[in-house]
Structure 1
Amino acid sequence: MTTTSRIAGLAAAAALTVAFAAAPALAYDGTNCKEPGVCWEPKPGYPAKDKIAGSKYDPKHNPKEVNKQSDSIKEMEARNKKRADNFAKTGKFVYDVSKIEN
């Protein structure tokens, strides 16, 4: 490697170091924070909290869709209870719940 290419490499590394060191200075300065780290601000035109219902920003969550996960967790816990009860009774672990006799 020649001296010129080494100097060019060092200069490029120094330039990158300066660029990355200056990057945090370009970040949001937090002038409108409620408290440190809580600096979310809505975009201009986003409605106030009390006016979201019925607007295009209203998520309109279907309660049936929202409850799907909790329902599946309840079903999983019921299957696990059945497996554990069967294991306590027989001493054998059976994964397939349909093979467990009531």
Structure 2
Amino acid sequence: MTKKTLWRRFGNMLAVSVFSLAAGSASAYTGTECKEPGNCWQAKPGYPEQIAGSKYDPKHDPKELAKQQESIQAMEARNKQRVEHYKKTGKFIYDVKKIPAS
């Protein structure tokens, strides 16, 4: 055998052993210790029992939270205009700015 063939075989054996070690260690770790079926979340050490008032409390601004509701209401209003125009004319226009005022 040539040196090239020996190195190729050595490389293949090394790769197979690395992959088998990785596969064996991945299948042995479950990652969870469930308190009950379906309740497998575990807090990291130091994570508080009560979130409110801790450093993990997100303290959301009510104005920021209201933005999503406002955008949903605006979307529903545009959809209503599109549907009303379609019912009247039978022609669907996506851009509500192009719908003629009636």
Cα deviation, 1:24-75, whole Å, max 9, x if unaligned, reads 2563553x422356432222222212xx322222111122212322321221
Alignment CA distance shift 1:89-1:80 (3 Å): same
CA distance 1:29–1:60, change in 2 (3 Å) = closer
Give structure 2 stretches of 5+ with no counterpart.
none
- Per the alignment, residue 83 of structure 2 pairs with 84
Question: What are the superposed Cα offsets for residues 74-93 of structure 1, whole Å, 9 maximum, x if unpaired?
Answer: 21111011011101211222
Compared with structure 1, are the counterparts of its residues 75 and 29 closer, same or farther at alpha carbon in structure 2 (3 Å cutoff)? closer
Judging changes above 3 Å, is the alpha-carbon distance between structure 1 residues 80 and 53 closer, same or farther for their aligned structure 2 residues? same
Q: 1:29 to 1:83 in 2, by over 3 A?
A: closer
Aligned pairs for 1:50-69 (under 5 A) are: 52-69=51-68
Name the residue aligned to 1:40: 41
> Sequence identity of aligned pairs in percent?
52
Instruction: Give the stretch that moved more between structures: 21-30 or 7-16.
Output: 21-30
Is 1:5 aligned with 2:4?
no
2:54 corresponds to which letter in structure 1?
Answer: S
**TM-score normalised to the size of structure 2?**
0.73
TM-score (norm 1): 0.73
Corresponding residue number in structure 1 for 2:23: 21
**How many residues get paired?**
99
Runs of 4+ that moved beyond 6 A: none
